């Protein structure tokens, strides 16, 4: 049984889209979902603290809750490989502490506005799901600014289908650019920024 939708939202949101690795003063701050020229790249990996299979690192045969939020830590690909190749160094207790410390730091950094929203623009998310309990076309679980983004979901034999999902407050604003007077729709998850730049003329507009 894989991690459910609720657990996955918690995992990514509480990690702040950052690698959770921190050990003896070394901290990885790599973003795990990046956008470059409108292309979205996913580099984050959901790593089991107590191993999922008998051949996996830190496996315990009679462990319950293997595929739950509490037993998963979000890491970049590099550090996922490092911790699984050094099982004696990166014990269950070490990873639990690592996850807890990272999530606490994300809360502090978000409150201090050190972690900025990701920007997703000029993108189409196409998803096709068949024979499942739930299908989600696009899911954003951290503060983000969306511009010219479309979600296309094709679902067959699915009990519940959702085109867009987020665990953040969703803000939608329709305004007119103060310079070119063209319509300026603005959508973001999480707190909205004080200003938004018009994609037509480049004018910085104050959000009310």
pTM: 0.57
Average of per-residue pLDDT across 85-97: 95
- For residues 169 and 190, the answer to whether their CB atoms sit within 8 Å is yes
pLDDT of residue 113: 66
* Beta-ladder partners of 144: 118, 189
- For residues 35 and 140, the answer to whether their CB atoms sit within 8 Å is no
For the chain, the first-to-last Cα distance in angstroms comes to 46
Of residues 63 and 166, more confidence is placed in: 63
- For 139-178, write each residue's pLDDT tens digit: 887 788 888 888 899 989 989 898 888 877 788 888 888 8
For residue 92, is pLDDT > 90?
A: yes
Q: Any alpha helices (H) in the chain, and if so which ranges?
A: 5-15, 77-85, 92-111
For residue 38, is pLDDT > 90?
A: no
% of residues, the chain, pLDDT over 70: 92
Q: Is 194 helix (H, G, I), strand (E, B) or coil?
A: coil
């Amino acid at each position: 049984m894989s991690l459910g939708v609720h657990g996955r939202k918690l995992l990514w949101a509480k990690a702040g889209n950052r690698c959770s690795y921190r050990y003896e003063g070394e901290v990885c701050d790599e973003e795990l979902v990046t956008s470059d020229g409108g292309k979205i790249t996913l580099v984050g990996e959901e790593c089991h603290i107590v191993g999922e299979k008998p051949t996996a690192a830190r496996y315990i045969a009679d462990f319950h809750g293997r595929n739950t939020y509490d037993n998963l830590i979000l890491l970049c690909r590099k550090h996922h490989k490092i911790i699984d190749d050094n099982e004696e160094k990166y014990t269950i207790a070490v990873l639990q502490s690592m996850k807890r410390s990272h999530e606490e730091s994300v809360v502090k950094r978000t409150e201090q506005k050190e972690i900025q929203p990701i920007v997703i623009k000029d993108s189409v998310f196409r998803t096709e799901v068949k024979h499942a309990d739930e299908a989600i076309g696009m899911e954003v679980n951290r503060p983000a600014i969306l511009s010219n983004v479309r979600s296309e979901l094709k679902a067959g034999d699915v009990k519940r289908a959702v085109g867009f999902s987020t665990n953040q407050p969703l803000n939608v604003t329709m305004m007119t650019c103060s310079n070119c007077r063209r319509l300026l729709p603005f959508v973001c998850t999480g707190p909205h920024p004080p200003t938004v730049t018009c994609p037509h003329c480049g004018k910085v507009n104050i959000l009310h």
